[in-house]
Homo-oligomer: A and B are copies of this chain.
């Protein structure tokens, strides 16, 4: 356990010595607790306790639980423009593998906390659903599919999204072994061809 700290150093009232970023500590703690418990399950008191500060700080810095949630979840770990440019830089045959590798790179880097937070926030916030759809379909996969001029772009983007989200669910949320602990290249080798087919291959009802 990394969360079992020695007894906290006895809080005093009033402003604390400089150099302690309470705001950042709260965001980090909220990130963890929201990931573990979802929006409704997470309590302001628990978040504040993990950050080592008083619950009133949530109101002071974020105006309440809702504001803190917004700060935590809507902080996406990549810039869409860069991402699309990087993905499209290379030969078309390697596109599927690049998408998978990038997907894992982004979410592995968050130590497996942000993806569950996103998924679990779908429970209570439709806004998160719309955010995920816009981000993944419209800003990333939609652009990639559009660039390669495939037929049925919406369906292809949706299929890619389904495989990526599924990998995220199995690797970060449900943690099925061996996929949860497999190294990136193993997953890329297995899933890359799937994405490649969804992007540029034959996906059934092409005509009609």
Q: A interface vs B, CB < 8 Å?
A: 37-41, 119-120, 122-124, 129, 132-133, 137, 154-155, 158-159, 161-167, 169-171, 173-179, 182, 185-186, 188-191, 193-194, 197-198, 203-205
Contacts and interface: CB of A to CB of B under 8 A. Distances in A.
Contacts of A179: 155, 158-159, 162
Nearest to A123: B38
Contacts of A122: 119-120, 173-174
Given A163-B194, A166-B165, A198-B190, A176 B204 contact: no
6 contacts: A123-B123, A133-B174, A154-B177, A155-B178, A155-B182, A162-B166
Contacts of A194: 163, 194, 197
A124 B197 CA distance: 36
A33 B40 CA distance: 14
Contact of A190 (B40, B120, B203): B203
List the 4 shortest-distance A-B pairs measured between CB atoms, nearest first.
A166-B166, A189-B204, A40-B40, A38-B123
A39 B123 CA distance: 9
Total identical chains: 2
A169 B162 contact: yes
A179 B73 CA distance: 25
A124 to B, nearest CB: 5
A169 B169 contact: yes
Contacts of A182: 155
Contacts of A173: 122, 129
A133 B177 CA distance: 10
A133 B132 CA distance: 25
A38 B39 CA distance: 10
A170 B174 contact: no
A174 B129 contact: yes
Contacts of A205: 185-186, 189
